[in-house]
Amino acid sequence: MSAILYPGSFDPVTHGHIDVILRLRKLFSRVLVLVADSRRKQYLFSTEERVEMMQKALKTAGAKNGVDVFGSKMLTVDFAKKEKINLIARSVRTVADWEYEYAMADANRKLLPSLETLFIMADPKFGFISSTLVREVAAFGGDTKEFVPPNVAKALAEKYKRGRK
């Protein structure tokens, strides 16, 4: 397989996300990371901030050629069609993730029948990490370094420090 799309909100990107991207890159010649927006979510970081954090985190993690990061406010299926991608990767940590992701894959397939979804299991050492958990820890001034790359931990501390003034 040549290319795969890995979409997510990545608010913020975690060690688990980076692990999945690096594992996908071992299997595919090109991984397109889509930092996407959803109208049902309220984000801590702007799309541009999340793209920048993802790019820096991937560079620090040693991701080289073949991983490209994009920001988008369009439907994932529309982005996939525009980029001529027919395979999406979704990471799964829990049974709840599976139920949500299965429904999303079904909807995507109805919107774009040529689009397949590959489910990849989270590494167990990262399985408990979620962006929601990370934001909660950071909001109370906790140390997020165990959960996120250094640049993201710094951005979280700065974002919440400004909010507490």
State the catalytic residues. Answer: 17, 41, 93, 131
CA 63 to chain centre: 15
Q: Which residues sit opposite 92 in a β-bridge? A: 121
Q: How many Å apart are CA 114 and CA 121, to the nearest integer?
A: 23
Residue 120 · residue 20 · CB < 8 Å: yes
Q: Is 140 exposed, middle or buried (0-12, 13-18, 19+ CB in 10 A)?
A: exposed
Q: How many Å apart are CA 18 and CA 46, to the nearest integer?
A: 19
